[in-house]
Chain A
Amino acid sequence: MSSRTLSPLARLYLRLCLPPSRLPEIVGDLEEVSAMIATHCGPLRARLRVAREVLLAGSWGLRRRRQHDSPPPQRAPREALVAGFIQDLRLGFRSLLKNPGYAAVAILTLALGIGANTAIFSVIHSVIIQPLPFPEPERLVRIWETKLDRGWDTISLSEPNFWDLRETNSTFEEMAVLGGRSVNLTGDDYPQRLNAGFVTAGFFRVLGVDPLDGRMFLPGEDDPASENRLVLLSHDFWRTRLGSDPGAVGSKLTINGEPHEVVGIVPDGEPFLSSRDIFMPLVRDSEANRGNHILVMIGRLEAGVTTAAALADLEIVSAQLAEQYPDVNGGMGVRFGPSEEWLAGESLRRQLWILMGSVGFLLLITCVNLANLLLAKATARRREIAINAALGASRRRIVRRALTESALLGLLGAAAGLILAFWGIAALKAFEPGNLPRIERVGINGWILGFTLIISVLTGLAAGLLPALQTSYTALTSALSEGERGVAGGRGQKRLRGFLVTVEVALSLVLLIGAGLLVRSFAELQQVDRGFQEENRLTYEINLPPSYDEDNGVWQFLQEYLTSVEALPQVASASAVSMRPIRGGTTNMGIVTEEQFGDEEAILLADWREITPGYFETMGIPLRRGRVFTDQDELVPGTGVIVSQALAERLWPGEDPLGRRAILWSDPDLVGEIIGVVGNMRERGLENDPTLAVYLPYNLSTWTPVHLVVHTRTEPHSLVPELRAVLAQVDPNLPLSRIQTLEELITDRVSARRFNTLLMSVFAGVALLLALAGIYGVLAYAVSRRTSEIGIRVALGASPERVLRMVIAQGMRPALAGIVLGLLGAFWLARFMGSMLYGVETSDPLTYLAVSLLFVAATAVSCYLPARRALRVDPVTALRQE
């Protein structure tokens, strides 16, 4: 029995070299001989001898094939096609081995384009294409409330509206809501803040999710009459905080000072399932405020019910509620958000597709570069091609062989591209700003491999098609008699090269303009006036349990804690606010002047914040008019309120707002008197307009968690242990969490934008390098082929400068055409980027001009350098090159 002693590499080599009919017998002979050698020599010597045998046998095989390749016997057309294809593959592979430099450049170029596309597609596949981890996701919808006369179409649900919609609809199998709050977990060494999701009992039934252990909430467990001190653990919490304890279900956790029974463990998944540490029942509150819209509502349609029918049904209910409660529900409707958008909303999808478009452009540029390389190679081989044609090879055969070689390049580029994509995906995961869902699942799987295979073959074919068609036209006589006269491969090839340069310039220009707009936009955002001081400001959160709701407990706590913090020598000032600065999200309040109450159109939507007296000083927000709060200001009807300058100008344009009165929350019983006006702050984010803000005193408020802002005299993070120590002295059961400086908050806020800008810039940079390399290669080649022509002109008396100008002008023509096309293309495509820009128009002239000039300069240099080299050649020598 012969043993397989030859390595896979040796077998592959023999498969490529030997005539197919002799392959099995010769491989068998070599195995036999290898076994004999192994018994007579040491391992190293045996390996060397076997390698020599294999190489020499392969060498014989190649010689024999050259001598004995004769037309194959008549075969069935399909068999002939397959045999021809395999032969083309072999020849293509051999051709690449014979020209390693050219092959390396081509494969590397392709690897860049294919690798970038694979990496970005893997993200899109994970975020957008892969279905949600819920059964029948097409029956799932998110339900929003709307107030279209004000242009609001994504309003969360209020609890009373949810219960009414749930109880009166007839088209949903189940509906549920999710709210979020921080809770405190105590009982361990130190208290911990947990991110809790409060859900109605049917929430997981809507999603169709089963627990990993234990059970989900049962119907009725959100009823105040039943036992509600229950908790579900997220899989991540169970794994990381409880060490995957198998006895977790049935145990008790002390949450907000009360024991809660763990009833189950929720599996991982996005959205929702992995977004919280724990889940607790949202107990029905008959006193809940119908105007407080803070809940995420989802529903599962009854089987067979269309979304249109369900929407119509809910709209009827919504209209009934508007009639019943005109003050809060007047003018409100509903809208659905399909489950496909749950993970990635429209904005994120658009950004991802723009990124995909960018790498698509990059791939096209690599395609053009490859086409140029193939064209140059085909030009060098035109005699061989002409001889093949003369010996009977049909045009179809020549084209097929060329396309097979370029497809082979595509596949090799794909293999190298997958390696680049692997690293690229690792880098994406490491640096992504945290707004990409399911990022941990991004990787190379079967779908991604399939995508890579398809684009690599298509790229290879696309790049090879025009050169293959063009060179197959080369007739025997014209190719053989052409000599070295510098027409750079014929008029047809010259036109094709020019066309490729035009396309390459146009594509690169579009990509560069896109990146340039993003870069300028990001720079503008960095310059925006934030309205506050960020240096040496630390923020953190303290979640106060319900026990602090009584006897003005929150205010008492803040008084005591802030006094102790301000006593620290490293602290300049400290204060509290009800929402985290910059990233706190919106807390809507309808506000209208007392005089305009009743006029729907006059109601403005403002953000409201409860603050302690030192807030503006701590944040560095200037006081424009009036005064700030004192400890005596209380949150009662008729209270003094402070407004932002933008809001004051909207409510009382051109007038002094001090002493004026406004209706808060559209409730005539809640009136506030303006006691101060402060500078505008961009509460909703740096790229949004300055917020219309209302500031209220914290005194008598029960709002929690409280967010602290501390202005430090030293590096802010160094103060954290002391802040914790002070907190422990006030209440050792309270955790201190979400610690960040204002600078870090701002960085986080713009991180997504920075990430997109960085990615686009990287792609544009790579595209520019590829394009310049391609353009230089083509233009330098074309100019060098005109060496004899240049020599003749100079010999006949033309001045070198004139010849130089002529060559540069002619060489730049296709590039200039590309610039014009690219500008038009960029102008048309940039409008899709409008939502990603800040402070910059999609037609920003500065960006367009700068990029255009860059290309003009680059192409001029690409023509100038080889032209100058050609001018230096002695005309007689140039003519002798003929």
Chain B
Amino acid sequence: MKGERLGEFEEMVLLSLSWDEEDSNAVSIWEVLQKEGERAVSLGAIYAALDRLERKKFITSWLGEPTSVQGGRRKRYYELTEEGGSALAELRRIREHLWRGRESLPSDKTT
């Protein structure tokens, strides 16, 4: 983990993995980010992020078996690695620590 940081989008992609407990692929990540992340993203951006995460060894990928449901084509699936899990947890810890130091936001001052 030394020297490997997570960018904001990478964090969101990692969090989208296994959102609904099934194996994730680029399309399911796209769906989750659109719906749950309220963010319009492109598959191209997701592929780029998945490439970086795989290089950082935060995820692994494999090609699934062809099935008739998928029109006979094989899909690539992704899974969080231990290092990826640790990086996510570390990032969360740092955020929460930084948030604790702040009582309110300028946008909270409504009166």
- Which chain A residues have a beta carbon within 8 Å of chain B's beta carbons? 1-2, 22, 24-26, 28-30, 32-33, 36, 52-53, 55-60, 63-64
B89 at the interface (CB under 8 A from A): no
Judge whether B45 and A56 touch: CB under 8 Å. yes
Judge whether A28 and B70 touch: CB under 8 Å. yes
Residues of A within 8 A of B45 (CB): 56, 60
Q: What distance in Å separates the Cβ of A37 from its nearest Cβ neighbour in chain B?
A: 10
Provide the bound-state CA to CA distance between A320 and B47, in Å.
Answer: 95
Contact with A along B69-83 (1 / 0, CB 8 A): 111011110000000
Judge whether A64 and B43 touch: CB under 8 Å. no
Residues of A within 8 A of B43 (CB): 26, 29-30, 33, 53, 56-57
List 15 interface pairs A-B (beta carbons < 8 Å), by A numbering.
A24-B74, A25-B63, A26-B26, A26-B47, A28-B75, A29-B25, A30-B43, A32-B27, A33-B30, A33-B43, A56-B42, A56-B44, A57-B42, A63-B48, A64-B51
- Which chain B residues have a beta carbon within 8 Å of chain A's beta carbons? 25-27, 30-31, 42-45, 47-48, 51, 63, 68-71, 73-76
Residues of B within 8 A of A52 (CB): 42
Q: Known A29-B25, A53-B42; judge A1-B47 contact (CB<8 A).
A: no
Judge whether B48 and A25 touch: CB under 8 Å. no
Residues of A within 8 A of B25 (CB): 29
Residues of A within 8 A of B26 (CB): 26, 29
Judge whether A29 and B44 touch: CB under 8 Å. no
Residues of B within 8 A of A36 (CB): 31
Q: Tally A-B pairs: CB < 8 A.
A: 54
Provide the bound-state CA to CA distance between A861 and B63, in Å.
Answer: 65
Q: Which residue of B lies closest to A58 (CB)?
A: B44
Q: Which residue of A lies closest to B69 (CB)?
A: A1
What are the 10 tightest A-B residue pairs by CB atom distance, in nearest-first order? A56-B44, A2-B71, A60-B44, A56-B42, A57-B44, A28-B73, A32-B27, A60-B47, A29-B27, A25-B76
Q: What distance in Å separates the Cβ of A30 from its nearest Cβ neighbour in chain B?
A: 6
Residues of A within 8 A of B51 (CB): 64
Q: Known A57-B47, A64-B51; judge A1-B42 contact (CB<8 A).
A: no
Residues of A within 8 A of B30 (CB): 33
Judge whether B73 and A2 touch: CB under 8 Å. yes
With A56-B44, A57-B44 given, name 7 new contacts (CB 8 A): A2-B70, A2-B71, A26-B26, A28-B71, A29-B75, A32-B27, A60-B47
Judge whether B44 and A53 touch: CB under 8 Å. yes
Residues of B within 8 A of A24 (CB): 73-74
Judge whether A33 and B27 touch: CB under 8 Å. yes
Q: What distance in Å separates the Cβ of B88 from its nearest Cβ neighbour in chain A?
A: 24
Provide the bound-state CA to CA distance between A28 and B68, in Å.
Answer: 13
Q: Which residue of B lies closest to A59 (CB)?
A: B44
Residues of B within 8 A of A2 (CB): 70-71, 73
Provide the bound-state CA to CA distance between A57 and B69, in Å.
Answer: 23
Residues of B within 8 A of A53 (CB): 42-44
Provide the bound-state CA to CA distance between A25 and B46, in Å.
Answer: 14
Provide the bound-state CA to CA distance between A56 and B26, in Å.
Answer: 14
Residues of A within 8 A of B70 (CB): 2, 28
Judge whether A1 and B27 touch: CB under 8 Å. no
Q: Which residue of A lies closest to B45 (CB)?
A: A56
Residues of B within 8 A of A33 (CB): 27, 30, 43
Residues of A within 8 A of B76 (CB): 22, 25
Q: What distance in Å separates the Cβ of B44 from its nearest Cβ neighbour in chain A?
A: 3
Q: What distance in Å separates the Cβ of A690 from its nearest Cβ neighbour in chain B?
A: 83
Residues of A within 8 A of B27 (CB): 29, 32-33
Q: Which residue of A lies closest to B30 (CB)?
A: A33
Judge whether A25 and B75 touch: CB under 8 Å. yes
Q: What distance in Å separates the Cβ of A550 from its nearest Cβ neighbour in chain B?
A: 89
Provide the bound-state CA to CA distance between A1 and B70, in Å.
Answer: 6
Judge whether A1 and B68 touch: CB under 8 Å. yes
Q: Kindly name the residue among B27, B44, B63, B74 whose own CB sees the greatest number of chain A CB atoms within 10 A.
A: B44
Residues of B within 8 A of A57 (CB): 42-44, 47
Residues of A within 8 A of B44 (CB): 53, 55-60
Q: Which residue of B lies closest to A27 (CB)?
A: B73
Q: Which residue of A lies closest to B47 (CB)?
A: A60
Q: Kindly name the residue among B43, B69, B75 whose own CB sees the greatest number of chain A CB atoms within 10 A.
A: B43
Provide the bound-state CA to CA distance between A1 and B71, in Å.
Answer: 5
Q: What distance in Å separates the Cβ of A455 from its nearest Cβ neighbour in chain B?
A: 40
Provide the bound-state CA to CA distance between A447 and B55, in Å.
Answer: 54
Judge whether A25 and B74 touch: CB under 8 Å. yes
Q: What distance in Å separates the Cβ of B62 from its nearest Cβ neighbour in chain A?
A: 11
Provide the bound-state CA to CA distance between A56 and B42, in Å.
Answer: 7
Provide the bound-state CA to CA distance between A1 and B72, in Å.
Answer: 8
Q: What distance in Å separates the Cβ of B17 from its nearest Cβ neighbour in chain A?
A: 15
Provide the bound-state CA to CA distance between A41 and B82, in Å.
Answer: 39
Q: Which residue of A lies closest to B25 (CB)?
A: A29
Residues of B within 8 A of A60 (CB): 44-45, 47-48
Q: Kindly name the residue among B47, B71, B73, B75 whose own CB sees the greatest number of chain A CB atoms within 10 A.
A: B47
Q: Which residue of B lies closest to A2 (CB)?
A: B71
Q: What distance in Å separates the Cβ of B9 from its nearest Cβ neighbour in chain A?
A: 14
Q: Which residue of B lies closest to A22 (CB)?
A: B76
Q: Which residue of A lies closest to B51 (CB)?
A: A64
Residues of A within 8 A of B48 (CB): 60, 63
Q: What distance in Å separates the Cβ of B31 from its nearest Cβ neighbour in chain A?
A: 7
Q: Which residue of A lies closest to B34 (CB)?
A: A36
Q: Kindly name the residue among A32, A52, A53, A59 whose own CB sees the greatest number of chain B CB atoms within 10 A.
A: A32
Q: What distance in Å separates the Cβ of B108 from its nearest Cβ neighbour in chain A?
A: 34
Q: Which residue of B lies closest to A1 (CB)?
A: B71
Provide the bound-state CA to CA distance between A449 and B51, in Å.
Answer: 45
Provide the bound-state CA to CA distance between A33 and B75, in Å.
Answer: 13
Provide the bound-state CA to CA distance between A658 and B47, in Å.
Answer: 107
Provide the bound-state CA to CA distance between A53 and B27, in Å.
Answer: 12
Judge whether A25 and B69 touch: CB under 8 Å. no
Provide the bound-state CA to CA distance between A28 and B66, in Å.
Answer: 12
Residues of B within 8 A of A56 (CB): 42-45
Provide the bound-state CA to CA distance between A1 and B27, in Å.
Answer: 15
Provide the bound-state CA to CA distance between A55 and B69, in Å.
Answer: 26
Residues of A within 8 A of B71 (CB): 1-2, 28
Residues of A within 8 A of B75 (CB): 25, 28-29
Q: Kindly name the residue among A28, A55, A58 whose own CB sees the greatest number of chain B CB atoms within 10 A.
A: A28
Provide the bound-state CA to CA distance between A58 and B73, in Å.
Answer: 19
Q: Which residue of A lies closest to B74 (CB)?
A: A25
Residues of B within 8 A of A29 (CB): 25-27, 43, 75
Residues of A within 8 A of B73 (CB): 2, 24-25, 28
Provide the bound-state CA to CA distance between A1 and B66, in Å.
Answer: 12
Provide the bound-state CA to CA distance between A32 and B44, in Å.
Answer: 14
Q: What distance in Å separates the Cβ of B23 from its nearest Cβ neighbour in chain A?
A: 14
Provide the bound-state CA to CA distance between A22 and B48, in Å.
Answer: 13
Q: What distance in Å separates the Cβ of A516 from its nearest Cβ neighbour in chain B?
A: 60
Provide the bound-state CA to CA distance between A36 and B40, in Å.
Answer: 14
Provide the bound-state CA to CA distance between A58 and B47, in Å.
Answer: 11
Q: Kindly name the residue among A2, A57, A59 whose own CB sees the greatest number of chain B CB atoms within 10 A.
A: A57
Provide the bound-state CA to CA distance between A30 and B71, in Å.
Answer: 13
Residues of A within 8 A of B42 (CB): 52-53, 56-57
Provide the bound-state CA to CA distance between A207 and B69, in Å.
Answer: 64
Provide the bound-state CA to CA distance between A36 and B33, in Å.
Answer: 14
Q: What distance in Å separates the Cβ of B4 from its nearest Cβ neighbour in chain A?
A: 18
Provide the bound-state CA to CA distance between A840 and B70, in Å.
Answer: 77
Q: What distance in Å separates the Cβ of B87 from its nearest Cβ neighbour in chain A?
A: 22
Q: Which residue of A lies closest to B31 (CB)?
A: A36
Provide the bound-state CA to CA distance between A2 and B25, in Å.
Answer: 16
Q: What distance in Å separates the Cβ of B47 from its nearest Cβ neighbour in chain A?
A: 5
Provide the bound-state CA to CA distance between A55 and B63, in Å.
Answer: 24
Q: Which residue of B lies closest to A28 (CB)?
A: B73
Q: Which residue of B lies closest to A18 (CB)?
A: B47
Q: Which residue of B lies closest to A24 (CB)?
A: B73
Q: What distance in Å separates the Cβ of B20 from its nearest Cβ neighbour in chain A?
A: 15
Q: Which residue of B lies closest to A3 (CB)?
A: B71
Q: What distance in Å separates the Cβ of A185 from its nearest Cβ neighbour in chain B?
A: 68
Provide the bound-state CA to CA distance between A22 and B76, in Å.
Answer: 9
Q: What distance in Å separates the Cβ of A39 from its nearest Cβ neighbour in chain B?
A: 12
